[in-house]
Amino acid sequence: MQSIISIRFYAGLNFFVPKKLKQKTFQYPVKGQPSVKDLIESLSVPHTEIDLILVNSHSVDFSYKVKSLDQISVYPFFYKHELRPDDSIKRIAFPEKMFIADAHLGKLAALLRMFGFDTVYRNDIDDDEIIERGVAEKRIILTRDLGILKHAIVEWGYFPRSQDSKIQLKEVIDRFDLKKHFKPFSLCIKCNGKLRAVEKGEIIDKLEDNTKSFYKDFYRCKNCDKVYWQGSHYHKMIKFVEEYKFQ
């Protein structure tokens, strides 16, 4: 049996909606009584992007069974509305801002590590591992694969809209309110290991002659032994971080 509902997606959720349906209420045919989560995802909007669902002006969770003539409004995170905070979709709260990125987001992963956010990434990581580790380790999944974000066990995730890594970084900072949590240069950009201060004498054999002569403060990754120092690249990264702090 087929019924008709009315539905509208607000603000950033329109990124996922076909052009002819953006920013408008439209009618949609429904077979049986699917959950509102399944209905929304049939329209290519992953549940990880949603903070609030109103059906006939009342908030519902993802399990709500859609009925004929329902009027549905779907809102993203941080959308400015006049509703009570407890109307939002209930999710597991993550204790830390930790991430796992898919194989196509290596540059974004490196930038997040630069800002001090624990980010798992490998260029050969597969979908199953992303989902399993994301859930088991309570990490926010970053991916441009809608199938991953639609997976039933995934609660927290984000689909970067841009393909430019610096713009992606700004999106993630804004989406997860990260500006107060920056810890630049606390993690290795290469492997995500923790950095620790190290005496020059301990790593002297790893340094070029000019580096030995002009720099005295060094850091080494506890995991892969990569050495960092406050050279020109360091100051460029500091400037980069400061730019994002005040945007």
pLDDT tens for each residue of 70-94:
999 999 987 445 555 567 777 777 6
| Beta strands at 140-142 and 99-101: parallel, antiparallel or unpaired | parallel
DSSP-assigned letter for residue 89: P
Is the full-model pTM beyond 0.95? no
pLDDT of residue 240: 73
Cα angle 29, 30, 31 (rounded to 5 degrees) comes to 130
The answer to whether the CB of 218 falls within 8 A of the CB of 227 is: yes
Per DSSP, which regions of 119-200 are E strands? 119-120, 140-142, 157-158, 195-198
Q: What are the pLDDT digits (tens) for 144-202?
A: 999 999 999 999 999 999 999 999 999 999 899 888 898 888 999 999 999 998 888 78
pLDDT of residue 200: 80
**pLDDT of 108 above 90:** yes
Alpha carbons within 13 angstroms on the beta-carbon side of residue 225 total 6
Q: What are the pLDDT digits (tens) for 122-131?
A: 999 999 999 9
